[in-house]
């Protein structure tokens, strides 16, 4: 399967991450937890992340998988 992770980093510290396996944002700092609560309650923001999963990951998955099979 495909797992899409969108991390947000400030001063070399990851403070929030969208994980497509979980299907929501997870905060890792106090600020990140607050943002995660807000962003997880916004269907538009969550929808954008799902679109990225479809647009980039699933689009490229078949291409890369095929290239790997060709080399084995």
pLDDT band (50, 70, 90) for residue 3: confident
| 21 φ/ψ angles, rounded to the nearest 5 degrees | -70, -40
Q: In this model, does residue 28 exceed pLDDT 70?
A: yes
Domain that holds residue 45: 5-70
Alpha-helical segments (H) within the chain: 30-40, 43-52, 59-71
pLDDT score of 53 more than 90: no
Q: Output b/e per residue, 28-65; b: 16+ Cβ within 10 A.
A: eeeebeebbeebbeeeeebeebeeebeeeeeeeeeeee
Number of domains the chain is built from: 1
Q: Provide the CATH number for the domain around residue 34.
A: 3.10.320.10
């Amino acid at each position: 399967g495909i797992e899409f992770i969108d991390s947000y980093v400030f001063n070399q510290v990851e403070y929030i991450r969208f994980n497509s396996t979980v299907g929501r944002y997870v905060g890792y700092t106090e600020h990140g937890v607050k943002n995660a609560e807000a962003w997880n309650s916004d269907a538009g923001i969550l929808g954008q992340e799902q679109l990225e999963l479809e647009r980039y990951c699933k689009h490229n998955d078949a291409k890369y998988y095929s290239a790997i099979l060709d080399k084995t």
